[in-house]
Amino acid sequence: MPPAMQDQPQRAPEAGAAFDAIIVGAGFAGMYMLHRLRGLGFTARVYEAGGGVGGTWYWNRYPGARCDVESMQYSFSFSEELDQQWDWSEKYAPQAEILSYANHVADRFDLRRHILFDTRVTAATFDEAAKCWRIETDRGDNVSAKFCIMAVGCLSAANHVPFEGRADFQGPIYHTGEWPHEGVDFTGLRVGVIGTGSSAIQSIPIIAQQASALTVFQRTATYTVPAWNEKLTPEYRNAIKADYPALRAKARARPTGFYFPFNMKPALEATPEQRTRQYEEAWQRGGLPFLGAYGDLLFEKAANDTIAEFARDKIRSIVKDPTTAELLCPHNVFGCKRLCVDTGYFETYNLPHVKLVDVSKTPIERFTAGGIEVNGTEYPLDAIVCATGFAAMTGSFDRIAITGRDGRTLAEKWRAGPRAYLGVATAGFPNLFTITGPGSPSVLASMIQAIEQHVDWMADCMAHMRDIGAATIEPLQADEDDWVEHVNEVSKVSLRSTCNSWYVGANIPGRPRVFMPYIGGFPVYVQKCNEVMTNGFEGFVMEGGDIGNEMPRVRLTERWRVPLDIEVISPAAVAARRVPVV
């Protein structure tokens, strides 16, 4: 049972209350939205399915869970005091510490009194006559609000694969994204892990330390780069804190929304020896910045082949059994699926009690009472860990009945793939905002930065509507269509669109294949959002109010006026040069 369902505190349902905004979700997005709206004098109610704040970091408590964007950057940037006072203990903070941080933010900014936990929003319906959203929850709440803000998370709807015989298995089955709060002790157990994405890669080395036998079921081999995680010294933290705003500003100007040394030069112009040296240096620095070894790695297949081969050689040099090493070698585009960052992942396969089972050609047939069957062989297990990921980007939207104008549902509108203008709003659904929605950089950027930029923009938009007395805002269909096409066109420039990743919904059978995040780069996207605002919310239609005269007052969005520095926006610049930003 998911942890939040265990001990729901009793409370009376809220009936008939009206708010300026309902916010769905109390991860970093919902928390920051609440903070900003309250600061602007709006009334807001947050509903959160979990029993506490933190979203991802509330749910994903599997062993080894931690961020893979460096902690000093994977954090809110809106409060200089918060930045100065919070001390991250490690280069990549563990889940518990990030959750403490979320709780600290909730306390510090007094957020909890407007959040109702253990409450899942089940329906959101736009009332055209009253021009408001009517929201229902699984706790019987029935409230209304002018704005409905979806802060439901891009990676929050766990993918529970309907394996045949699932109910037959006699032991416990866990999903990494819904991990029991009390933790799991695998000591002496025979454990099976399904999946080799980021969650599996973080948890496998730790589970292997406890389990008597570990069997990993791998469908697609994964590229992963060592984290070289370490404790942060006070000197290091102080050096960053001495000019934190400068680091934050540099981060915003990067395509990924976080700062790391980036080499603009093309791999294909270097000699093989130079490339090997460069890759080795980048490998020794570790983490996601490994992809910044050259500027063309995600754009030119021949360049990508060079880094992919380097990574395969690393696997072969670490994993002692040649058959296992070859199975662990990915043959798709390097960085096409989300790159993983690990601590001791490949080394784990050198342990005598760890076995790798290839399920790429012969899929998992069924769960049995005592294990998992593949290709006629039963692997005996006491516990199964499904590290099978998420219905990414749109999964949490699918789980709410969202109805806009003319009774049209979002599920219907997004059946062939999500359609949203700038990823913040979708035509036919007035006053519905989607934080890090499909069509925005979201999961391709450091997500807290992406969240903050969206929230600031949305809050400014709502304040402007109040200034002019506007009742509703929604995208114009034509502008939305242009944006969706632009997102799609830019994605084709990148090799990232070429494999069966969750970016394109291909991790789950039956989902439409659409490249969902915007790959043109964070600064290019931010500039577009800023232009839309300063041009009076170009591409949107507002109803009611004195629309003609008053240009929007830029309040919170001001801090996102980052100069486009061509030197540091390389991949975005490449994409934007070939496919103009609409």
Residues that bind ligand NAP (CB under 6 A): 67-68, 155, 161, 176, 194-200, 202, 217, 219-220, 338, 341, 359, 363-364, 387-390, 443, 502, 507
Residue 300 φ then ψ, to 5°: -120, 120
Position among 14, 48, 97, 178 found at the interface with ligand FAD (CB under 6 A): 48
In the complex, least distance from residue 271 CB atom to ligand FAD, rounded to whole angstroms: 34
In the complex, least distance from residue 200 CB atom to ligand NAP, rounded to whole angstroms: 6
The rounded distance, in Å, linking the Cα atoms of 559 and 453 is 9
Place of tokens 């400014």: 460
The rounded distance, in Å, linking the Cα atoms of 241 and 82 is 11
Q: Residue 287 binds what, of ligand FAD, ligand NAP, none (CB under 5 to 8 Å, by partner type)?
A: none
- Coil, helix or strand for 177? helix
Contact positions with ligand FAD (CB under 6 A) in 426-465: 435-436, 446-447, 451
Our CB check for ligand NAP shows the closer of 36 and 66 to be: 66
Contact positions with ligand FAD (CB under 6 A) in 147-186: 151-156
Our CB check for ligand NAP shows the closer of 198 and 557 to be: 198
46 Cβ partners below 8 Å, 6+ apart? 22, 23, 24, 25, 26, 30, 31, 34, 111, 114, 115, 116, 151
Nearest CA among 312, 333, 294 for reference residue 225? 312
Our CB check for ligand FAD shows the closer of 454 and 464 to be: 454
The rounded distance, in Å, linking the Cα atoms of 318 and 326 is 11
Our CB check for ligand NAP shows the closer of 372 and 526 to be: 372
Determine if 218 is a binding residue for ligand FAD (CB under 6 A): no
Under DSSP, the state recorded for 269 is: G
The rounded distance, in Å, linking the Cα atoms of 208 and 337 is 25
State how far the alpha carbon of 160 is from the alpha carbons of 112, 134, 157, 388, 499, in Å.
30, 30, 9, 7, 22
In the complex, least distance from residue 232 CB atom to ligand FAD, rounded to whole angstroms: 16
Q: Residue 27 binds what, of ligand FAD, ligand NAP, none (CB under 5 to 8 Å, by partner type)?
A: ligand FAD
Our CB check for ligand FAD shows the closer of 132 and 288 to be: 288
Q: Residue 502 binds what, of ligand FAD, ligand NAP, none (CB under 5 to 8 Å, by partner type)?
A: ligand NAP
Nearest CA among 152, 146, 153, 156 for reference residue 22? 146
DSSP output for 301-333 = HHHHHHHHHHHHHHHHHH-SSHHHHHHH---S-
Q: Residue 71 binds what, of ligand NAP, ligand FAD, none (CB under 5 to 8 Å, by partner type)?
A: none
In the complex, least distance from residue 500 CB atom to ligand NAP, rounded to whole angstroms: 6
Contacting residues toward ligand FAD, per CB under 6 A: 24-30, 47-50, 55-56, 58, 60, 65, 67-69, 74, 120-121, 151-156, 199, 396, 399-400, 435-436, 446-447, 451
